Structure 1
Amino acid sequence: MKITKETVRDKQGYRLHILPTTKYKTVSIVAKFKAPLKREGITERALLPHVLHKATNNHPNVRLLQSALEDLYGTGFSSDGSKKGENHVLSFRMEVVNESYLNESEPILEKALNIFHDVLFNPKVVDNGFDEAIVKREKQTLEQKITSIKDDKMSYANLRLIDNMCEEEPYSLHVHGYLEDLKKITAKSLYEHYLGMIENDVLDVYVIGGVDEAGIEALSDQTFTRVNSDNQGEHLESEPFHPTESKEIVEREEVNQGKLHIGYRTHIKFGDDDYYALQIFNGLFGGFPSSKLFMNVREKHSLAYYAASRFESHKGLLLVFSGVDPKDYNQAKSIILDQMEAMKQGDFSDEQVTDAKEQVVNQLQETMDNANGLIEVLYHQMLSGSTIQSEELMENIRNVTKEDVVKVAEKIELDTIYFLTSQEGGDE
């Protein structure tokens, strides 16, 4: 689905997406490295973005690198990792002031892209490895991030739901990696993994802002060209999975509030015809404050501190989150399952469908009003392999009928019920 006037060019070792617009006062550049989710190497991939943007050969410590960015009118740089279906995506983002708003003719964008190139392709290397002090420090930071997930019980319950629900699937892999792997990583082994990533990952580069297409194409070639890569890396598609029967899992931890999380299979992914109706389904079911989960589980029966749902666009999952008192587990579970059944029976009005459609359209417009949000939407579209203009996208959402939503609901299958509680029995 193509959301805006986007020029896409296959280049040497990368794919360039240019989105010229005068809407923003900054230029946003995002580089996305994609590889299949695999247990081997996922911790190295989680660590790499943080090590790479701490030092380069030209800016050998974090202070000098940060100072160089600050000198370019406070150019911002960030990085992270995420799962898109069965694929692991590392994103590097830069936001630089648009030169046309400056009184001087300094080539700010070119200088910023030189730094971007250094971060990705000219990192600080010592004796065929990364800087050991930087690696050690970033390993400690990542270790804290991994261990802190257990302290955030909502995130932990979601992690455990996916662990159990997608046990034999790549999607179950942890995006931040694993402590047992982290301990084994050295400056040299991480650098070897980096070299493999640079050569083998699929690289997409997005540039959005007030740019001249020919000029930015030339600058991008200087910045992102990979002479040893054909940019044809593997892409993992999620295999259809139909649970033969649902699972119910109760685990015990010291928690003040029970976490009842439920996973469903939608069998609908980004780019599918039913995807628009799935968005409306989720809004009605648990996506908005007016949804069935919020109104029935939280407001009407006062059984949950929160109750909501979201869907995973490239994996075909629908996830329900709720925080409940352990003694209310069975009742809360029954009411959540009843709301799904009500959706399958069409127990909602045409007026509610209309309201949900407007909320979904507003959310999408708000996302696309932000440069990074627009890039994320376009990347989703590119991964799905389908093309549609923004006006048609909005129209498709507005054309969803109650019957379309019921059809989506009927496809959805219960997979896993997960409850995290400190109480024996979970429902006493």
Structure 2
Amino acid sequence: MFETINIAKGVNVHVNETTQFKTINFSIKFKDKLTEEKASARSILANVLQHSNEVYPSHTALRMVLDDLYGTSLYIDSSKRGSEHVVTLNVETVNDQYLSEKGVLEKVLNLMYIVLFKPNFENDLFKESIFIREKHSIVQRIESVFDDKTRYAQQRMMELALPNHPASITSNGTIQAVEAVTNEQLVAEYQEMLTQNEIEIYAVGDVKPEMIASYVREFLHFKDREKAIAVAPMELVKPEQSRVLEHEDMKQGKLHMAFFTPITFRDEKFPVMQLMNGVFGGYAHSKIFVNIREKESMAYYVSSSFASQFGLMFVLAGIDSKLEKKAVSLVLKQLEDVKKGNISDIELDQTKALLINQLKEALDSARGQIEIYDQYMELTESFEPEYMINKWKNVTKEDIAAVAEELSLEMTYFLSGKEDDTNA
């Protein structure tokens, strides 16, 4: 799928040479340990680098040069995966073999160099007005979570269930940590990102791997860096409270349940857990959806998800406040059915088909290929779609029942309207 070329210690170039697309997609991923402080600073940094640099000091100026490069798109975002925080430069440009003008690829790579290595500095600091503006933008982004009560409830449960654990740290950090970041600290974080972070560079398009690696060496000048020492995953510690009830000014109650499992992404049973999640609550044919939303008509939405990096499974449901106990009971009843192996052929076959289709659909886009490979190369360096497809196909009902047995409910969090104290 991808050919990997190491261009410096801790810096890898991965190229998928394919005629599937007429564009070339790049992703440069800077990976660092996830902490609240780093997430906050690096989210500001992503914004600052995207919207201003020495050559194109305004977003308008950058937009104009992108338009001149045949509508090239460029954006920088910050995200988390497990215990890592990732800042990613994403670029999509036309492959100039389809143009009468040549040299577009070199111009795009030079622009990537400018964005990363030529920041808009004044007196060795980021331009103050831009620094303040982008700090405020990140604060607003964090505050917006409060308006989405489902996201807010999930974050509150994580903070209560796993305080100071990477699972409860958001990719943007916290308002307090963002506001505490100084311009000097941001410059230090920027320099550390360029010189010390592990870097994975991806390219997808009708291009030769060695050519892309040569261009990256020529334009981006990444030097050797020490490979980060592997940090042992933090253990999941049983929460102090098994049930938490909180109130907000809202009508629909938000039920969130957190389950622990010893099975994580790198476990050989990981594909089984993916299927278990799909049978239990991951899809519209799953047990909790069919039995709680369709048969009982008591949930506006209900689903489960598997956070494989941490060994966590979540159930989320939107319900009337007075139905919390009944909903919890029904969720646990469906889990008990899975543990007993009460899984129909249709449930199993549909789940396998949907997982396979999701993977194939993701691979229909260059960005999807990059994200899939960046995740799954941790399992096997020569990842191909068939690697996961074959594992899913071989999973049995007994396998699913066995991994379900390892799940334990650790916290039930319910966010209810202020006027409704029936569950207090």
TM-score (norm 1): 0.94
> How far is the alpha carbon of 1:43 from its aligned partner?
0.9
Is 1:395 equivalent to 2:390 in the alignment? yes
Amino acid at match of 1:11: A
CA contact (8 A) 1:46 1:176 kept: yes
- 1:371 corresponds to: 366
- 2:406 corresponds to: 411
RMSD over aligned Cα, in angstroms? 1.9
Q: How does 1:321-360 map to 2 (within 5 A)?
A: 321-360=316-355
Is 1:258 equivalent to 2:253 in the alignment? yes
Greater CA deviation, 320-329 or 236-245?
236-245
CA contact (8 A) 2:7 2:217 kept: no
Aligned residues: 423
The Cα offsets for residues 280-327 of structure 1, whole Å up to 9 and x where unpaired, read as 111111111111111111111111100011111322211111111101
> How far is the alpha carbon of 1:240 from its aligned partner?
4.0
Q: Distance in 1 between matches of 2:170 and 2:384?
A: 34
Amino acid at match of 1:225: H
Structure 1 segments of 4 or more deviating over 4 A? 384-388
Q: Distance in 1 between matches of 2:238 and 2:180?
A: 36
Structure 1 pair 75–237 and aligned structure 2 pair: CA distance change class (3 A): farther
- 2:45 corresponds to: 48
Structure 1 pair 8–414 and aligned structure 2 pair: CA distance change class (3 A): farther
Amino acid at match of 2:169: L
Q: Distance in 1 between matches of 2:422 and 2:22?
A: 54
- 2:313 corresponds to: 318
Q: How does 1:139-150 map to 2 (within 5 A)?
A: 139-150=135-146
> How far is the alpha carbon of 1:41 from its aligned partner?
3.0
Give secondary structure in 2 for the equivalent of 1:41. helix
Paired residue for 1:137, among 125, 133, 137? 133
Q: How does 1:232-271 map to 2 (within 5 A)?
A: 232-241=227-236, 243=238, 247-271=242-266
CA contact (8 A) 1:270 1:380 kept: no
Is 1:203 equivalent to 2:207 in the alignment? no
User: Which segments of 5 or more consecutive residues in structure 1 lack a partner in the other structure?
Assistant: none
Amino acid at match of 2:37: E
- 1:286 corresponds to: 281
Greater CA deviation, 240-249 or 71-80?
240-249
CA contact (8 A) 1:271 1:386 kept: no
CA contact (8 A) 1:87 1:235 kept: no
- 1:305 corresponds to: 300
> How far is the alpha carbon of 1:340 from its aligned partner?
1.4
Amino acid at match of 2:318: G
Q: Distance in 1 between matches of 2:230 and 2:119?
A: 27
Q: Distance in 1 between matches of 2:230 and 2:122?
A: 33
- 1:184 corresponds to: 180
The Cα offsets for residues 184-209 of structure 1, whole Å up to 9 and x where unpaired, read as 33333322221122222111111111
CA contact (8 A) 1:13 1:226 kept: no
Structure 1 pair 215–387 and aligned structure 2 pair: CA distance change class (3 A): closer
Give secondary structure in 2 for the equivalent of 1:40. helix
Q: How does 1:92-131 map to 2 (within 5 A)?
A: 92-104=89-101, 106-131=102-127
TM-score (norm 2): 0.94
- 2:220 corresponds to: 224
Give secondary structure in 2 for the equivalent of 1:419. strand
- 1:427 corresponds to: 423
Q: Distance in 2 between matches of 1:179 and 1:358?
A: 42
Is 1:18 equivalent to 2:15 in the alignment? yes
Is 1:156 equivalent to 2:152 in the alignment? yes
Amino acid at match of 1:362: N
User: Which segments of 5 or more consecutive residues in structure 2 lack a partner in the other structure?
Assistant: none
Amino acid at match of 1:163: E
Is 1:35 equivalent to 2:23 in the alignment? no
Structure 1 pair 86–12 and aligned structure 2 pair: CA distance change class (3 A): closer
Greater CA deviation, 88-97 or 160-169?
160-169
Q: Distance in 1 between matches of 2:282 and 2:369?
A: 21
Structure 1 pair 327–338 and aligned structure 2 pair: CA distance change class (3 A): same
Amino acid at match of 1:286: G
CA contact (8 A) 1:43 1:182 kept: yes
Q: Percent identity?
A: 34
Paired residue for 1:59, among 56, 59, 77? 56
Amino acid at match of 1:86: S
Q: Distance in 2 between matches of 1:143 and 1:111?
A: 34
Structure 1 pair 198–161 and aligned structure 2 pair: CA distance change class (3 A): same
